[in-house]
Structure 1
Amino acid sequence: DWKEAILREAQGTLAQLQTDSLREPDVTDRASSETDWSIELRTRDRQRKLIAKIDAALRRIEEGEYGYCEVTGEPISLARLEARPIATMTVEAQERHERNEKVSRDE
C-alpha cells in the first residue's frame, strides 16, 4: 500500500509537470515556481529510492529474512519494524553504523 501511494503521488507530480508552465511572466514568480518544483522533484527522487527499499523488504519477506538484522542476525524489534517497515538493522546496529559513518566523514 505504501509503495502504491508513492507511485500515485509520482503520477500526480508528472501530470502536474505536464500541465503547468514555468513561463511565469514575473521573474520573481518564475523563480518561486522553479524552487517549488525543485523541492518537489527532490522529494520524488527520495521516494524513488524508498520504493527500492520497499521492494527489498518484500523480497526479504519472501525469503524469510525479514525482521532480522543484516549485521548481527538478531531479530529487529517489532516497535522498530512498525515505525520503519524497511529497517534492515536493529537500533543498536544502526547506531553503530551511523557513528562509523560519521567518523569516516570527519576524517
Structure 2
Amino acid sequence: MAATKELKIPTEEQLLKMPESDYMNEAQLAFFRARLQQMEKEILVNAGETTEHLRETVIVPDPADRATIEEEHALELRTRDRERKLLKKIQQALASIDSGEYGYCEETGEPIGIPRLLARPTATLSLEAQQRRELRQKLYGD
C-alpha cells in the first residue's frame, strides 16, 4: 500500500519568504489552486443567490419603489456579469496550473511574481508586460 504524501498548503507569509529558486513549486501551486477554487466557489454561490433574489419578484404599486427595485436588480446583474468574466479567468488559471504554465508571463515567459499573484491570482502578465499593454492601449486605443 503506497503512502500518499500530504502537502501542507503554506500561508501568504510563508509564500513570500520562500526563495526565488522555489518559484511555482508544489506548495505554491497548491496554495494558488486552493485560492482560485475558493474564488470560483464564492462566485457560483453569488450567482445562485442572485437567481433566487431575482425570482422573488414583488409587485410594488409605487413607481418610485418599483424603479428602486429595478435599479437594484440592474446593479446586481452588472456585478454578476463582471463575476462571470472573472470566473472564466479563474478557470483558465486553474487550467494553467494543470498545464504547468501558471505563474509565468504569457508574453515574456518570465515569472509573474508571488506578490502580484497574491494580489491578482488570475494575472497572466508580469507587471512590466501589463504596463506595456496598458500604455499601448492608451496610445493606440487597442
Does TM-score exceed 0.5, indicating one fold? yes
Which residue of structure 2 aligns with residue 68 of structure 1?
Answer: 104
Supply the distance in 2 between the matched residues of 1:90 and 1:24 (Cα, whole angstroms): 51
Are residues 1:85 and 2:121 paired? Answer: yes
**Could you tell me how far 1:105 is from its partner in structure 2?**
2.5
Are residues 1:4 and 2:44 paired? Answer: no
TM-score by structure 2 length? 0.71
Are residues 1:94 and 2:111 paired? Answer: no
| 1:46-61 pair list within 5 angstroms | 46-61=82-97
Which residue of structure 2 aligns with residue 20 of structure 1?
Answer: 57
Q: Alpha-carbon deviations, 1:14-73, whole Å to 9, x = none? A: 01111133x321111111111111010000011001110000000100000000000111
**Could you tell me how far 1:101 is from its partner in structure 2?**
1.0
Structure 1 residue ranges without an equivalent (≥5): none
**Could you tell me how far 1:103 is from its partner in structure 2?**
1.6
Supply the distance in 1 between the matched residues of 2:78 and 2:103 (Cα, whole angstroms): 29
**Could you tell me how far 1:10 is from its partner in structure 2?**
0.7
Identity level (%): 50
TM-score by structure 1 length? 0.93
Larger Rg computed on CA atoms = 2
Number of equivalenced pairs: 105
Structure 2 residue ranges without an equivalent (≥5): 1-37
| 1:35-46 pair list within 5 angstroms | 35-46=71-82
More helix by share: 1
